[in-house]
Amino acid sequence: MQGTKRRFLIAGNWKMNKTLKETEEFFDMFMSFKKDFGVDVLFCVPFTDLKTALEKTKDSKIKIAAQNCHFEEKGAFTGEISANMLKELGCRYVLLGHSERRQYFNETDLTVNLRLKAALKEGLKAIVCVGETLEQRKDNITDEVIAIQIKTALKDVSKAEIDGVVIAYEPIWAIGTGENATKEQAEDVCKKIRKEIEKLYDSEVAQKTLILYGGSMKPANCEELLKEEDIDGGLIGGASLKSEEFLKIVDVAEKIR
């Protein structure tokens, strides 16, 4: 499609779901259906499930990510996990700046940038989430909000390091609401994100960077979204909790790119 060489990434975000037992059951089931994929497949799992998820998927191409990491290497940050801790566990990916982290745990563009730099320093690859609220969309300031989120998140991230960064565009009003952005709305913002990256780096970097769409993506709406030129995959919450549903999205993605 569209002559792009970017490989799709279909990523699940389990949020605060699944115990260890449920994680084992999920991967037993998921991998009984499929182990090898024509697209990249990744799951962002709770910290407590990381080790089990990594072990369960070690003979497959499934990638496992943490849902956050702190920006300090160690110290008095009760409840937090460092990038180094993830790395030592064998975890190579981390999700950063999810809107739920911003909304409920006071994370800001600035702390997302600090976390990103800490993750990249440890050699982790990161999925960085950006997205506007419904109010911002209604106020017609989506483009400005996204541009600031991108610029701040990527501040002092070098051209070499950006290779390890995936951007997920997640309009907040579409997350967990069942109401996805239209393909036009999603493509419009993803294209503008690519332009921002081009301004910050260059067009080669912009063309290589993966930009995902997230917000109520499911089997019924994934095809039209994934067919858009600047959408390189999905970050999927609710529909990633059931293997059959998630696999349907993977199947659609495999047929498109």
Hey, which residues does 9 pair with through a beta bridge? Answer: 40, 233
Binders in 214-233 for ligand PEP, by CB under 6 A: 214-217
Q: Catalytic: which of 100, 132, 170, 187?
A: 170
Q: Catalytic: which of 70, 98, 196, 228?
A: 98
Helices marked H in the chain: 20-33, 50-56, 83-89, 99-104, 109-121, 134-138, 142-153, 183-200, 203-208, 219-226, 243-256
Tell me how far, at minimum, the Cβ of 118 lies from ligand PEP, in Å.
21
Catalytic-residue membership of 170: yes
Binding-site size, ligand PEP (CB under 6 A): 14
Q: Does 171 engage in binding with ligand PEP (CB under 6 A)?
A: no
Q: Does 111 engage in binding with ligand PEP (CB under 6 A)?
A: no
User: Per CB under 6 A, which region of 28-36, 52-60, 149-157, 234-242 contacts ligand PEP?
Assistant: 234-242
Tell me how far, at minimum, the Cβ of 219 lies from ligand PEP, in Å.
12
Q: How far, in Å, are 22, 42, 241 from residue 218 at the CA level?
A: 21, 16, 11
Q: How many Cβ atoms from other residues are within 10 Å of residue 85's Cβ?
A: 18
Q: Does 84 engage in binding with ligand PEP (CB under 6 A)?
A: no
Q: Does 13 engage in binding with ligand PEP (CB under 6 A)?
A: yes
d(CA 185, CA 143): 11
User: Per CB under 6 A, which region of 111-119, 158-166, 196-204, 236-244 contacts ligand PEP?
Assistant: 236-244
Active site residues: 98, 170
